[in-house]
Every structure is written in C-alpha cells, then in structure tokens.
Amino acid sequence: MEDNKDENNSLENLEQQDTLVTESPETPDKNNPATQIKKQNIITKIATKINIYLLGFILLIVISLVIIFVVIQSSNRQAAQEASITTQELTQEAIDNLTGNESTVGDPKQLLTVESNAVFSGKVLIRDGLDVAGPIKVGGDLSLPGITVSGKSAFDEVQINSLSIAGNTSVQGVLTVDSNLTVGGQATFGGSVSAPSITLDAITLNGDLQFNRHIDAGGSTPSVASGSAIGSGGTVTISGTDTAGTVTINIGSGAVAGLLATVTFATAFNSNPHVVITPISSLGAGPVSGTGQFYLSSRTTTGFQIATSAALSAGSISFDYIVID
C-alpha cells in the first residue's frame, strides 16, 4: 500500500512537471519576475518622460508667479515709501532751539505737525512751494510778482495798476473807466453808448444819424478877404467855423459887380465840399438894395468865393453858409 502511494505521488509530480514544461513556451507567466521587471521598465520610461514635461511646465508657472509677486511687492513698497512721510512731534526742546537761532529741524522726508495756532512776529521765508489746504486770509496788502489762476475766481474789489489780457474778456456788470480808454482795434457795442462827450478823429456810420438836439459845429474860424466889388471903404468879416458861419460885407462907395469876399478854410477838405449860402440883412440896418443876384464864383477844398452879378449900393449884408464834404 505504501509502495502504491509513493508511485502515485511520483507520477503526479511528473505530470505537473510535464505540464509546466509544455505551457511555458506558449504563454508567459504573469507571475514570472522577469516578465514583471520588463513591464515595469516600459511604464517607468513613459512615466519618466511625462513627469519631465509636467514638472517643467509646473516649474515655469511657479517661476512666473514668483516674478510677478516680486514685481508687485517692489512697486507697492516703493509707492509706500514715496507716499509715507515720517511724522515727528515738535517737542519743547526743539521749540527752545528755534528761539533766537537759525536751526534746521528734521529733513524734507519728515512732516512737522503743529496742532496749536502759530504767530510769527517777523517775516516768513518759504524757499519751496506752499500748499494750503484751507482758505487764506490776508489782513494787509498782498504783493505778488505774478499770479496764475487755473479756475474761476471771485473778487469783491481789485485794484490793478496795469492789466494785460491776452484772451477774450466778458464783463457781466457795469464797467466804469475813470481815466482814458484806448482801443487799438475795432470796438463793437451791442447796445447804446452813453457819454457826456466823445472825441473822434473820424467816424463812419453805416446807418442813419439822428440828433435829438442841436448840431454845434466846432473848430477854428476860417479867414476871409474882401473882393474888388465891395467898393472903396468896404469891409468884410466872418464868424463861425469851416462847417457853418456868417460872412458880413459892408459895401462902400463905387461898388461894382463881381467878387465880394473870399473865404479860406482853417482846415482843407479832402474833396470839393458842398457850400450853401443864404443872403440875410444885418441887424439894425435895412437890406442892401439892388437887383444883383448872389452866387458862388468858386468852390474848392481850401475855400469858396461869394460874388454878385450887379453893383450893390452902400450898406451892409450878411451871408450864412453851410459847408458839407
């Protein structure tokens, strides 16, 4: 019995060995260590390549984030350093040092804060700019070499010795000029102009000219000379201006027809003017008798002449004249 068992066991072992030998060349064993090492090498190579690219990409992102962070922190630190000003309290010792001495307190990066009111008995010199957060009240005169105002300004009363305006100027209220007003260019007025007197070298009117009162022609008095027709002992006088006046002629003995008087203007006209004469009798005397007719024998830019077509009897006669250019 024991011999049979041993034989059976030996046969089974042989069958198992045969089975292993026949199966090994056809299908590899998954549990074989060599097969497992080969598979692990392929997977490791693939994983190694993937990990290199992934790690490189992650490293690039991390470096970019670090650079951005460093730049932002540096900018913030620089802005904070520029904006922040060190505040230092003004101690009593520093105030005592300022009394009667020229002392330097702090540096430009520090801020001197004075909580209480301050009174300066002497002058205050500011070498740099002055920034005032609130209003400025000046009890006395304010002297400035120049002032630039970017926005609107309101002044109750301003006295300016000399004012030069490069741009346009609009005056909403009344403009009062106590002294002379000189306009180098043209002046345009949308409304009426009221003035007690206006002196003009020349005036051009495009519309009608209306006078509510009289026309008083001013100027120098022209000169007059007697003509040969007034006779012996006759005289000629004139009053008025170049624009209007009166010529008075006293007729002497032996008067004849012809030139009575020659009027010469004080200022010559630009062209031959229009002259109108009207014979009138002198006050306290009757009109000159005769049948002669009076006329202008000459009219030029420098004067005019009064003549008669017939001899006049002794007496006095006057002529009113109006001259318009």
Overall pTM surpassing 0.85 (yes/no)? no
Q: How confident is the model at residue 98 (pLDDT cuts 50, 70, 90)?
A: low
Establish if 94 belongs to a structural domain.
Answer: yes
Q: How confident is the model at residue 236 (pLDDT cuts 50, 70, 90)?
A: very high
Work out the percent of the chain whose per-residue pLDDT is above 90.
Answer: 26
Q: Is 90 exceeded by the pLDDT of residue 214?
A: no
Can you give the pLDDT at residue 220? 95
- What would the mean pLDDT of 21-37 be, rounded to a whole number? 50
Establish if 277 belongs to a structural domain.
Answer: yes
Please state whether beta strands 86-89 and 110-113 pair in parallel, antiparallel, or not at all (unpaired).
parallel
Query: SS3 string of 222-235?
Result: CEEEECHHHCECCE
d(CA 12, CA 15): 5
240, amino acid identity = G
Highest mean pLDDT out of 81-95, 258-272, 280-294: 258-272
**pLDDT tens-digit profile of 46-59?**
666 666 777 788 88
Looking at per-residue pLDDT, the higher value among 13 and 255 belongs to 255
Closest CA to 183 of 197, 194, 161, 198: 198
Establish if 124 belongs to a structural domain.
Answer: no
Establish if 165 belongs to a structural domain.
Answer: no
Tokens 């309101």 appear where? 154
The Cβ of residue 299 has, within 10 Å, a number of other Cβ atoms equal to 13
Can you give the pLDDT at residue 284? 42
Show which of 115, 147, 171 is a domain's final residue.
115
d(CA 235, CA 225): 9
The Cβ of residue 296 has, within 10 Å, a number of other Cβ atoms equal to 13
Closest CA to 173 of 155, 148, 147: 155
**pLDDT tens-digit profile of 130-171?**
888 878 888 777 777 777 777 777 777 777 777 778 878 888
Can you give the pLDDT at residue 103? 57
Q: How many domains does the chain have?
A: 2
Bridge partner residues of 261 (DSSP): 226, 306
Question: Would you say 307 and 294 are in contact if contact means Cβ atoms under 8 Å apart?
Answer: yes
d(CA 309, CA 108): 104
Query: Cβ contacts of residue 261 below 8 Å, gap of 6+?
Result: 224, 225, 226, 227, 230, 236, 238, 247, 249, 305, 306, 319
Query: CB-side exposure of 42: number of CA atoms within 13 Å?
Result: 5
188, amino acid identity = T
Looking at per-residue pLDDT, the higher value among 59 and 108 belongs to 59
Establish if 9 belongs to a structural domain.
Answer: no
Q: How confident is the model at residue 2 (pLDDT cuts 50, 70, 90)?
A: very low
Question: Would you say 292 and 249 are in contact if contact means Cβ atoms under 8 Å apart?
Answer: no
Can you give the pLDDT at residue 137? 81
Query: Cβ contacts of residue 306 below 8 Å, gap of 6+?
Result: 227, 247, 249, 259, 260, 261, 263, 277, 294, 295, 296, 297, 319
Q: Is 60 exceeded by the pLDDT of residue 37?
A: no
- What domain range includes position 267? 223-324
**pLDDT tens-digit profile of 110-130?**
777 777 788 887 788 887 778
Show which of 115, 149, 184 is a domain's final residue.
115
How many helices and strands, by DSSP H and E, does the chain display?
Answer: 3, 10
Q: What share of the chain is helix, strand, coil (3-state, %, to 5)?
A: 25, 20, 55
Establish if 244 belongs to a structural domain.
Answer: yes
Show which of 115, 147, 178 is a domain's final residue.
115
Establish if 140 belongs to a structural domain.
Answer: no
Establish if 152 belongs to a structural domain.
Answer: no
